[in-house]
Structure 1
Amino acid sequence: MANVKEKSPPLPGVKQSHTALQFEYNARRFGFILLLLIIAAALSGLFSGGYFSDATKNNAGNSLAVEYQRFGRLLSPVELKITLPGQNPAPLTLRIGGEYMARTQTDNIWPQPDEMHSEGGELVLVYQAAKTHNDFTVWLYTTPEQPGKFLTRVSVNNQPGLSFWQFIYP
């Protein structure tokens, strides 16, 4: 039986460093696993729209529902959908507050409100007559201007509102 050599003879002209080879091996092995984790997180919506990002929240009386994205990216459009199920009070006053006004830029509101103003750090949208007999929905398209986690509050006609958080990646 042939003898097994524990150490192969060095190649002429090549200096081998066991420490460097071990580092390269670990970097490849753990780097590949880290890359797979980042790809899985991105596909599942941890960095923008997706399963973990899309959320719906209702207030205590189910008179207000908000669909939003928990995670967004700086200077990338974000959609906020506010629904009033089965209500048509006239006039309808929708207040959006918290850190919303300071951290985002509102690009578009649909349907357009009859009146719109800022009051006490809140965006106030007033609709004089609701156009439908079913659910009334307002879409806000915004662009986050500051990274980080922030809290937004939404209320309608001074009824109990709801709060939700969003995290904006830089």
Structure 2
Amino acid sequence: MKRTESESRDYPVKEDMTWQRREICIQRVGQYMLLAIVIAGACGLFSKGFLSNGEAKSPDGAVQVRYERFGRVQSNMNMSIQVPAQAGDRFTVTIGNGALDSLEIQTLQPQPIEAVARANDLQLTFLTHNVKSGHTIWIGMQPQEMGAISMSVGVTDSPPARFSLWVYP
């Protein structure tokens, strides 16, 4: 009697074809999962990439923040803050919600005329220079801890834009 490939056998090697089919199925699922993880990583799920690019606005539109949603401990993350033209000769940007307990600012452009730490907030004061098109502030920072970091960025007396970052080890 001739057996087919899909039947279990005892000779020359004991095989259970039901378990072999299950193992093949598990291997395929694992291969697809690994492929999905690699593609997600290349797209920015674990650090830089288009999945990581985030944008937040304050409820009144007084501030717009572009940031990286995902980062790694001790790696550079960038954030830009856009502020519309302000009346008067100066304006203050407040970075708060205790985020600076977990983030270290590496670069800040342009340099503020005054930087004051109050409680868990950092207040940066800039000159307006009579700019009609608005202001952009670039911040380079390094996360010091892993996990979720909640941030808020506000201008003068306007409500802040609120967002979160996720930092991997």
With the shorter chain as reference, the TM-score category is 0.7 to 0.9
2:48 matched to 1:49?
yes
Q: Percent identity?
A: 27
Secondary structure of 1:50's aligned partner = coil
- TM (norm. structure 1) is 0.85
Alignment gaps of 5+ in structure 1: none
2:31 matched to 1:35?
no
Stretch moving more, 43-52 or 141-150: 43-52
- Compute the RMSD of aligned alpha carbons: 2.2
Task: Give deviations 1:32-61, integer Å, cap 9, x for gaps.
Answer: 111111012112221122232211111122
The residue number in structure 1 matching 2:129 is: 130
- Where do residues 89-100 of structure 1 align in structure 2 (5 Å cutoff)? 89-100=88-99
Matched AA of 1:60: P
Q: 2:99 & 2:126 partners in 1: Cα distance?
A: 20
Q: 1:70 & 1:64 partners in 2: Cα distance?
A: 18
The residue number in structure 2 matching 1:62 is: 61
The residue number in structure 2 matching 1:107 is: 106
Matched AA of 2:11: P
Q: 1:20 & 1:8 partners in 2: Cα distance?
A: 12
Alignment gaps of 5+ in structure 2: none
Task: Give deviations 1:49-92, integer Å, cap 9, x for gaps.
Answer: 22322111111221210001111111110011000123354211
Task: Give deviations 1:83-142, integer Å, cap 9, x for gaps.
Answer: 012335421111101131110000010001111121111111111343733120101100
How many pairs were matched up?
165
- TM (norm. structure 2) is 0.85
